[in-house]
Structure 1
Amino acid sequence: MSNSSVETVTTPSDKYKIVLAVAIIAIGIFAYSYFSDMNIYARVGMFVGSLVIAALIFWFSEAGRRSVDFATGSYSELKRVVWPTRAETIQMTGIVFAFVIVMAIFLWLVDKLIEWIIYGVFLGWN
C-alpha cells in the first residue's frame, strides 16, 4: 500500500456535476414509471440511458476520477493476493465448523447451569 497523503478538494462545479448526475437518474426512474403505456424495452432503455449519462457526468468530476483511481488500485492489490488452495480452504472450513459446534455445546451447558442455579437453587422451581 502506498503512504501518500490524500487531499480532498471539491469545487462547486464538481458538486453540480454530482447533483446533476443524481437528478438525471431520478428523471430516468420517473420516466420509467410515467411512461407505463410504452413498450418495456423503451422504458428500460430510458432508464439505462439515464444511468449511462449520469455515469459519464460523474466520470468527469473529481470524485469520479478518484473512484476510478481507487478501483484500479484495488484491482492491482487484488492481483497480489495469495489465495488458499482447495485443501487449505476445506481444512479451515472444517476447523470453523468444529469450533462452532464446541462453542454451541459450551454455551448450552452454561445456559443449563445458569438455569439450574436460578430456578433450582434460588427459586426452588423443580
Structure 2
Amino acid sequence: MIDKIKLAFSLLLLALGIAGFYLFEDKAMVVRILAVLAGIVASVAVAWTSPQGKQALSFFNESVAEAKRVVWPTRQETIQTTLAVAVLVMIMAAFLALVDIGFAYMVQWIMGRGA
C-alpha cells in the first residue's frame, strides 16, 4: 500500500510542478520553467523509492547498455538504402498513378461519358 501512496504522491508532485508553470504566469519564464523542472525532479525522486521506480531505472540502464551494442550502418549503407527506398517510392507512385488514371477512364466509360 505504501508503494501506491508513493506513486500517487509522485504524480501529485508532477502535477504541482506543471501547475506552478501556470500559477507563476506573472513571473519570469525562467522561474516558471524551474517550477516545472522542480516538480519533475521531485516526482522522479519519490517514484524511484518504489519497486516500480526501481524497475524503471533498471530498464533504463539495460536499454542504454543495449543501445551501446547496436551496430549502426555506415554512411555508404545508409545512402544506398535511402536511394533504394526513394527509387521504389517513385516506381510505386508511377504505378499507382497509372492505375488511378485507368480506373478514372473505366468509370467514365461505364457511366457513358466517354473517355
TM-score, structure 1 normalization: 0.81
Deviation by residue 1:43-74 (Cα, 9 ceiling, x = unmatched): 33332212111110011111111111111111
Report if aligned partners of 2:24, 2:31 keep a CA contact under 8 Å in 1: no
Deviates more, 1:76-85 or 1:98-107: 76-85
Q: Distance in 1 between matches of 2:24 and 2:69?
A: 48
Deviates more, 1:28-37 or 1:90-99: 28-37
Q: Give the length in aligned residue pairs.
A: 114
Q: Distance in 1 between matches of 2:28 and 2:77?
A: 52
Q: Distance in 1 between matches of 2:84 and 2:62?
A: 33
> Percent of aligned positions with the same letter in both sequences?
34
Paired residues for 1:1-126 under 5 Å: 12-120=1-109, 122-126=110-114
**Cα distance change on mapping 1:82 and 1:35 into 2, 3 Å:** closer
Deviation at residue 41 of structure 1 after TM alignment: 3.2
The RMSD of aligned alpha carbons is 1.5
Q: Structure 2: which 5+ residue stretches go unaligned?
A: none
Q: Distance in 2 between matches of 1:39 and 1:109?
A: 59
Structure with bigger helix share is 2
Residue type of the partner of 1:124? G
Q: Distance in 2 between matches of 1:71 and 1:26?
A: 23
Instruction: Give the secondary structure class of the aligned counterpart of 2:27.
Output: coil
